A and B are shown apart, each in its own frame.
Chain A
Amino acid sequence: DAGVIQSPRHEVTEMGQEVTLRCKPISGHDYLFWYRQTMMRGLELLIYFNNNVPIDDSGMPEDRFSAKMPNASFSTLKIQPSEPRDSAVYFCASSLNSDNQPQHFGDGTRLSIL
């Protein structure tokens, strides 16, 4: 079975540029999550969707960050304009619709903003 697929795996860009991270969840999963992982702050939940609808975006750091889920098989996380402090590993995860169902993680996108 295909897991959660994220692209690109690595992204290096200059500050001020727009960055778009992509995620394909596991087919049939109702929930999709975006996390950010840094040494300083650990694993932070940015936003999550249920049936393509954003449920909680309280973890999105600022207006420069936006996320969309146009359909059940695709989501994007966009940073515009990017800043060096946005450098981190960004993970996407998906799960079935139940609190006792685990989240399945992608391999992440390592983002470096120069």
Chain B
Amino acid sequence: AQSVTQPDIHITVSEGASLELRCNYSYGATPYLFWYVQSPGQGLQLLLKYFSGDTLVQGIKGFEAEFKRSQSSFNLRKPSVHWSDAAEYFCAVSTGFQKLVFGTGTRLLVSP
């Protein structure tokens, strides 16, 4: 069965430091992969998506993610974190027929 693992429940990063959030997926075919962000009291907002082609994808708010088929990973990165990036981040894989399987999320805390 398809699954997504986000091994870090929460991460604390200093403002201005770099960030990497981990995501591993299990899916037999070529995956469609997504990263969403959820701010408190709000719905999920799409950060970026990978379908095919260049394995390094750029998203909104300065985020990027790299697809590594050999490692079944799709890690999210940002070179310099801002306090406004504090939120919960979800990785998801599309399993066909528009269904998404979400990871359990990683809560990002940004320290001054």
Contact = CB atoms under 8 A, between A and B. Distances in A.
B32 A99 contact: yes
Interface residues of B, number: 21
B98 A95 contact: yes
Interface string B68-112: 000000000000000000000010001011111010110000000
B66 to A, nearest CB: 18
B55 interface: no
Contact of B94 (A45, A93, A100, A105): A100
Interface stretch (A48-56, A62-70, A72-80): A48-56
Contacts, number: 53
A113 B99 CA distance: 29
A91 B98 contact: no
A103 B100 contact: yes
Contacts of B44: 43, 91, 93, 103, 105
A2 B62 CA distance: 24
Given A43-B90, A55-B97, A107-B41, A102 B102 contact: no
Contact of B97 (A43, A99, A103, A104): A99
B28 interface: no
Interface of B: 32, 34, 36, 41-46, 49, 51, 90, 94, 96-100, 102, 104-105
Interface of A: 4, 31, 33, 42-43, 45, 48, 50, 55-56, 91, 93, 95, 97-108
4 nearest A-B pairs in the assembled complex, by CB-CB distance: A105-B43, A105-B44, A100-B51, A102-B46
